[in-house]
């Protein structure tokens, strides 16, 4: 029977259409992996072509050794760091000059790399740079929210093949974030505990949605998942802001994230995907009612008229089946598959 499930955070209902159900493996891309060179002369992110990017913000390491991760302003930035942050309210029209920061994090010097096939240490380097930029930009009083994200593959919006992530810092709090903060606060006021600490306690005990667990993080399918294989990675201890992650936790997150990406790579044959760090606006960093997480969303289906018309999604894969499928995929086959 089909089933409707409600997302505890967004209050959105989704239809889990088991009548149309697909087995998880039916969503595999059957994509033939094209060999990609490790260096491309025309690529602005490849080593040796640093002059083709705007002036570098940072590189890691910065001790004169060849860089492993680099941060540069986005050449085609969505927002401008030199704009004023003037608000203009006129009747129902609200506008602000397009102030903000839009940065590119070059994940690796290797053009052919894919995070799913990288080493845990490489992913750790990238996450440390995320934290550094997140904490630096959080100090800017003009900034109210920071989104870190990665687009992998054309269907996920990647315009450059060279592995990279992005960060956009905005002068406003997006309504999605505000809604989650409100729901988190409502739950905290009603029940006296963080909604996501509560969720994790329940899900870890139940186990059906868990994909994998590290020392400090757990990856799980979402009960009311709007799209197949939407997976969240939560820190096990309560933490509202990604900026508060410790070095030991970064090492564990690198392992859990890389293993999850490898499972998706092997099980669904290198699907296009996005992942994003969902954290609080800077002023809420010590909030008891919000808990940051990483959301990984493979782009396996397309949004159609019903979703646009109702805001309700139809998901054809039962999240419990997706979790079981991913638990059984051997992540260590990823490096063999990519070789
Ligand atoms: Zn490149
Ligand atoms: Zn919590």
* pLDDT at residue 129 in the model: 98
Distance 205 CA to ligand 1 centre (A): 44
Task: Answer whether 218's CB lies under 8 Å from 210's CB.
Answer: yes
* Ligand 1 centroid from CA 255, angstroms: 24
Output the six-digit token pair for 83.
């704009």
pTM for the predicted model, two decimal places = 0.95
- H/E segment holding residue 326: helix 319-328
Give the pLDDT confidence of 188-213 residue by residue, as tens digits. Answer: 999 999 999 999 999 999 999 999 99
Tokens of 59: 């590189």
Predicted local distance difference test score (pLDDT) of residue 322? 96
Report which bound ligand comes closest to the CA of 188: 2
8 Å CB contact between 217 and 256 = yes
Instruction: Please tell me the number of the ligand nearest to residue 234's CA.
Output: 2
Residue 85's pLDDT is 76
Q: Give, in order, the Cα–Cα distances in Å from 65 to each of 23, 39, 45, 62, 220.
A: 48, 19, 17, 7, 38
Q: What is the pLDDT of residue 285?
A: 92
**Distance in Å, CA 169 to ligand 1 centroid:** 25
CA of 177 to the centre of ligand 1 (A): 33
- Residue 83, pLDDT score: 84
CA of 181 to the centre of ligand 2 (A): 12
Which residue positions in the chain have pLDDT lower than 50?
Answer: 339
- Centre of ligand 2 to C-alpha 237, Å, is 7
Tens-digit pLDDT profile for residues 230-276: 999 999 999 999 999 999 999 999 999 999 999 999 999 999 999 99
Instruction: Give pLDDT, residue 19.
Output: 74
**φ, ψ dihedrals at 101, nearest 5°:** -125, 140
Ligand 1 centroid distance, CA of 126 (Å):
16
């Amino acid at each position: 029977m089909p089933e409707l499930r409600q997302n505890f955070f967004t209050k959105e209902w989704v239809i889990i259409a088991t009548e149309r159900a697909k087995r998880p493996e039916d969503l595999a891309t059957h994509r033939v992996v094209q060999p990609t060179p490790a260096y491309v002369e025309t690529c602005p992110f490849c080593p040796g072509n640093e002059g083709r990017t705007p002036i570098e913000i940072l590189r890691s390491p910065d001790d004169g050794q060849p860089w492993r991760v680099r941060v540069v302003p986005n050449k085609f930035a969505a927002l401008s760091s030199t704009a004023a942050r003037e608000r203009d309210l006129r009747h129902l029209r609200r506008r602000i000059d397009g102030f903000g920061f839009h940065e590119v994090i070059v994940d690796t010097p290797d053009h052919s790399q894919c995070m799913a096939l990288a080493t845990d240490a490489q992913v750790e380097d990238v996450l440390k740079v995320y934290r550094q930029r997140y904490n630096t930009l959080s100090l800017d009083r003009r900034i109210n929210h920071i989104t870190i994200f990665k687009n992998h593959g054309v269907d996920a919006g990647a315009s450059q093949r060279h592995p990279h992530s992005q960060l956009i810092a905005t002068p406003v709090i997006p309504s999605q974030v505000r809604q989650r903060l409100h729901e988190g606060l409502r739950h905290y006021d009603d029940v006296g505990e963080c909604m996501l600490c509560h969720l994790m306690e329940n899900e870890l005990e139940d186990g059906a949605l868990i994909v994998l667990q590290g020392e400090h993080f757990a990856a799980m399918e979402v009960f009311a998942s709007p799209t197949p294989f939407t997976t969240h990675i939560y820190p096990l201890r309560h933490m509202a802001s990604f900026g508060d992650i410790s070095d030991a936790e970064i090492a564990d997150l690198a392992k859990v994230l890389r293993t999850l990406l490898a499972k998706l790579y092997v099980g669904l044959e290198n699907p296009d995907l996005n992942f994003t760090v969902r954290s609080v606006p800077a002023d809420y960093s010590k909030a008891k009612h919000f808990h940051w997480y990483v959301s990984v969303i493979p782009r396996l289906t397309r949004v159609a008229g019903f979703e646009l018309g109702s805001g309700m999604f139809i998901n054809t894969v039962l999240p419990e089946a997706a979790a079981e499928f991913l638990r059984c995929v051997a992540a260590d086959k990823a490096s063999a598959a990519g070789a």
